[in-house]
Amino acid sequence: MEKPRIYITRKIPDEVIKPYKQFIDIRMWEKATEPVPRDILLEEIKHVDGLFCLLTEQVDQQCLENASKLKVIANMAVGYDNIDVTSAKDQGIIVTNTPDVLTETTADLAFTLVMATARRVVEASDYIRAGKWKHWSPFMLAGADIHNKTIGIVGMGRIGQAVARRASGFGMEILYHNRSRHKRAEHELHATYADMDKLLEESDFVVSLVPLTEQTEKLFHQETFHKMKDTAIFINVSRGKVVDEQALYEALRTKEIAAAGLDVFANEPIGVDHPLLNLENVICLPHIGSASVDTRIDMMKLCLENIHHVLNGEDPVTPVE
């Protein structure tokens, strides 16, 4: 019997795909660091039963119109706002993502940004490199404490809870806002549910971990930043579009809030001319939340496992519900 065929939109290591080669005919975009061109994706998708894609691909209506054989889309990310899930489901295509395997790694990065912004780590390193370190002095690059402060987590999903666990180790008070209450987090992590206004007003660190949906687009806007303390630090490791970037820029420029640590942007990749890069009180990272070697390999394996399950007539491991 002919093997089912899949397309992977990025070159991934041979040892990751090797175990699946006996079951699946695998084609792959040839480059590891550059996304597949749109016209090639539109052509490839016509012929495959499964698509393994990244958040750099927009799997939209136009793409899906071409996908008459497609049965499964495995997105190598926990977020799936790059996929038109409703249209895919209407066509009977199963969509999967990669939750769990990236939770701790992404929470590590979120907490790295909390610490690096509070203690001005990037600025301090640049300070030495620029030859500015002439003397030690009491307030040279003095930042904010992290321990015993209040962290406000917006989006208490798996990653939110993992951030809360880290915050708890630092003796922080934990506030959270979420669509629904998380009794377990309240019980185990002593996290307190707060409405958005209270969270914004009382938190020293506001951490965005909400997925991008119609409801969360520009959730953080002018008024939101206005409600935060002027010493507050804003961290975003979810999706750039949940923030009104112009409003954030103004809030940082006018010191309405103290600093920001951003792993994600409204339009990625950003270039060196992005206004936020002109501000000293911002740390910008190129969307590396889940970027540890082990986790990225686990994400790849989970995508292949999901595809293998579906093409074998079994339930996917991590379907997007």
Is 212 a binding residue for ligand DGY by CB under 6 A? The answer is: no
Distance from C-alpha of 154 to C-alpha of 159, rounded to nearest angstrom = 11
Give the nearer residue to ligand DGY in terms of CB position, either 113 or 175.
113
Of 58-66, 76-84, 164-172, 178-186: span binding ligand DGY (CB under 6 A): 76-84
Query: Which among 297, 276, 287, 307 has a CA at the least distance from the CA of 79?
Result: 287
Q: Is 53 in the site for ligand DGY (CB under 6 A)?
A: no
Burial 118-153 (b: 16+ CB within 10 A, else e): bbbbbbeeeeeeeeeeeeeeeeeeebbebeebbbbb
Q: How many chain residues are in contact with ligand DGY, going by CB under 6 A?
A: 7
H-run or E-run covering 226 = helix 222-227
Question: Bridge-partner residues for 111, per DSSP?
Answer: none
Interaction of residue 290 with ligand DGY, rule CB under 6 A: yes
Could you give the string, one character per residue 239-258, with x where binding to ligand DGY holds by CB under 6 A and - elsewhere?
--------------------
Among 28, 45, 51, 78, binds ligand DGY (CB under 6 A): 78
Q: Which of 63, 77, 101, 285 binds ligand DGY (CB under 6 A)?
A: 77
By beta-carbon proximity to ligand DGY, the closer residue of 26 and 109 is 109
Kindly report the backbone phi and psi dihedral angles of residue 92, in degrees, each rounded to the nearest multiple of 5, phi listed first.
Answer: 75, 20
Residue for token pair 């002439």: 134
Q: Is residue 283 near ligand DGY by the rule CB under 6 A? A: no
Shortest Cβ 303–ligand DGY spacing (Å): 11
Q: Which stretch binds ligand DGY (CB under 6 A): 74-82, 182-190, 265-273, 311-319?
A: 74-82
Among 5, 25, 79, 193, binds ligand DGY (CB under 6 A): 79
Question: Which backbone phi and psi does 95 adopt, to 5 degrees?
Answer: -110, 135
DSSP symbol at 215: T
Q: Environment class of residue 5 by beta-carbon count within 10 Å: exposed (0-12), middle (13-18) or buried (19+)? A: middle
Can 187 be counted among the known catalytic residues? Answer: no
Q: Is 275 in the site for ligand DGY (CB under 6 A)?
A: no
102 near ligand DGY, judged by CB under 6 A: yes
CB of 102 to ligand DGY, least distance (A): 6
CB-nearer residue toward ligand DGY: 200 or 220? 220
10, 166, 239, 296: which is the annotated catalytic residue? 239
Cα separation, 75 vs 64, whole angstroms: 14
Looking at residue 289, its amino acid is G
303: β partners: none
Contact positions vs ligand DGY (CB under 6 A): 55, 77-79, 102, 289-290
By annotation, the residues acting in catalysis are 239, 268, 287
